[in-house]
Amino acid sequence: MTWYQQGLSRERNGHSVEVLTVSEVSSLIESLLDDPRLQEIWIRGEITNLKLHGSGHRYFSLGEKRNEHSAVLSCVMWRNDAKRVDFELRDGLDVLVFGSIGHYSPQGRYQLYVKEIRPAGLGEKHLLVERWKLQLEAEGCFDLGKKRLLPPYPARVGVVTSETGAVLQDIRNVISRRYPLELVISPTAVQGEGAHLEIARAVRRVEREVDVLIIARGGGSFEDLFPFNHPEVVRAVSSCPVPVVSAIGHEVDVTLADFAADIRAPTPSAAAELVVPDRISVMESLAVHRKTMGSRLLGRLDRAGSLLCEVRERLAPRRISQQVTARREDVFVLSGRMEKAILSRVALERERLSAAAAVLAARNPSQPLRKGYCILQKDSRVIRSAGEIGKGDRLTLRMVDGRLETRVEEVHLDTEI
């Protein structure tokens, strides 16, 4: 048996040298590579030697050219992580990768185990959004304690979106159907250079004129939705004095503006349904309340009548005698006063019932229509002045039992009014 097989130390230059096994060296390397500076890190480089394995794994190297020298880092991306890559990997592509350095013992080499990969330009924007998120979170822009409830019956709803997109029409259609009210449109660009500044200005332009605000746009790529991640937009949403509902992109798309909003809706149409009640449900609820109030009042009247009869029976004299005549007269006076007070209370309750019924009738959206009036609309908007109508416009006349579609032949403005 040799000296290294006996686990002995070898003498070299008068010093004892420890002899390690290959597995011990491998374990030592792995422990050194556990340095936090080499774990969960972002690295930028150029893809080289790409191999797309049949199992779904991806093997490649990251290269970096510096003058006459070059550095190469071996990389592996397992199948489950590679499935999430939404672009084509190819040699020469400048990318940003996220992963950890590890030691591959069978081949005695270190490599980067990649969890995520992005094109370099887009990847930098993702990192920028992450930095913005931490910064804005520290400012309190995403504080859950600041979230507000939506008003149950708003009078004016603001909409910040593109003036030409289908989003605005979707919101108009939903609100017109559910609970017609005044929409205040604050148009803005929703993508492109400088769009974040326009969006922030659009929010501030309308925030003092409405009861609730919808900020919306249709679906798009990360690049398309990028303006809604900008701190200018997030701060405008966070500081808005009225509740904000965000409906940006599709349901799977999440922007920093969504975190700052009071409520996030999956679609613009869903946002419109959230900010207004259903008028049919409101009318049904009013009818139930009216019936309940009437029943309660009638019950109180019945109980008051029963009490009055009971008091009369208790106070009525059963024996007539000269000794109690005076007392009996006092009892009759007291009974009369009580009867008068009860009748007065009954009259007061009847007046309150009538007033409540009048309020309910006044708040009934269809009440003016039952009197022969109609609501004139153009593109789902209520028309209040002849100056808003032009020859050839198509108008909708809403009546109590239906609606009419008409076209304007002529418009006469009454200048004396």
One domain for residues 256 and 214 = yes
Residue range 242-256, pLDDT digits in tens: 999 999 988 888 999
Q: Are residues 181 and 288 in the same domain?
A: no
Residues 115 and 145 in one domain: no
Is 301 found in the same domain as 345?
Answer: yes
Residue 412 lies in a domain: no
Of 107, 102, 104, residue with least CA distance to 34: 102
Do 348 and 299 belong together in one domain? yes
Question: Which positions ≥6 away from 415 have C-beta within 8 Å?
Answer: none
Predicted confidence at residue 275, as pLDDT, reads: 95
| Beta carbons within 8 Å of 229's beta carbon, 6+ residues apart | 129, 132, 255, 256, 257
Give the HSE-up count for residue 217: Cα atoms under 13 Å, Cβ half-sphere: 27
Domain count, the chain: 4
Would you write out the chain's pLDDT as a tens digit for each of its 417 residues? 444 444 444 555 556 667 777 777 777 777 777 777 888 888 888 888 899 988 999 999 998 765 555 788 899 999 999 998 888 888 888 888 899 988 887 777 888 899 999 887 666 777 788 889 999 999 999 999 999 999 999 999 999 999 988 999 999 999 999 999 999 999 999 998 899 999 999 999 999 999 999 999 988 888 889 999 999 999 999 999 999 999 998 888 899 999 999 999 999 999 999 999 988 888 888 888 888 888 888 888 888 888 888 877 777 655 445 445 667 666 667 777 777 877 888 788 788 877 777 766 666 666 677 777 788 888 878 888 888 888 888 988 888 788 888 898 888 887 654
Give the pLDDT of residue 8: 45
- Give me the domain span that covers residue 394: 370-407
Instruction: Look at residue 52 and tell me if it is in a domain.
Output: yes
310 and 338 in a single domain? The answer is yes
| Claim to verify: residue 192 and residue 243 sit in the same structural domain | yes
- Please give the pLDDT value at position 296: 86
Same domain, 273 and 284: no
Q: Do residues 266 and 317 both lie within one domain?
A: no
The reported pLDDT for the residue numbered 44 is 86
Q: Is the pTM of the predicted complex or chain greater than 0.95?
A: no
Give CA angle at 391 (386, 394), nearest 5°.
85
Question: Looking at the domain assignment, is residue 21 inside a domain?
Answer: no
Q: Are residue 106 and residue 188 in the same domain, yes or no?
A: no
